[in-house]
Structure 1
Amino acid sequence: MSASTVTLTDLTRMLRESAGEEEGVDLDGDVLDVSFDELGYDSLAMLQVIGQVQREYGIRLPDETVADADTPRALLALINTSGQVPQTR
């Protein structure tokens, strides 16, 4: 498991890699508090991103809490606090 903090730059990279980037949306802009819906990412796209986060960082994210993280700021907070919890299976 990685002890690294996931940054907005990391998250926007994963959004682009997993689900592309909607035309007219600038992920390099001030998007911390913009909803994923407004950024063009639906629930399927977010599942792909969450899967990538889990693979790259070894972080287990509970499905019920991920659904509540509707902005990059909320998702980063969830990722970076969940990273302290060991993954169990």
Structure 2
Amino acid sequence: MNITELTALLRECAGADEMVDLEGDVLDVPFADLGYDSLAVLQTTGRIERDYAVSLDEEAVAEAETPRAYLEIVNSELSSRTGA
């Protein structure tokens, strides 16, 4: 999963703050600064788990404060699932 896919899912699951440019370099911007709270991240996590048939570590997801950290968790799980 890449940042474009993640931001699209965030928008679908929780909407988007019109004041935040999700098209920019947001990998290291905290979710809170992007207008997403823990519930938004939780909703996105549920969607990823359903769409990709994976189970993400709840503690790790809760500690991921930026899209980069979140993507590392997601991609690690996706890689282990496919054996890549």
TM-score by length of 1: 0.86
Identity %: 52
**CA deviation vs aligned residue, 1:15-52 (integer Å, no higher than 9, x gap):** 00000001210111110000000001011111100011
Q: Which residue of 2 aligns with 1:19?
A: 14
Q: Does 1:37 align with 2:27?
A: no
In 2, the alpha carbon distance for the partners of 1:18 and 1:61 equals 17
**CA deviation vs aligned residue, 1:42-87 (integer Å, no higher than 9, x gap):** 111111000111111122101111011110100011100012345x
* 1:81 counterpart SS class: helix
Indicate if the aligned counterparts of 1:60 and 1:83 stay in contact, CA closer than 8 A: no
Give 1:34's aligned amino acid: V
Residue-pair matches, total? 81
* Higher helix proportion: 2
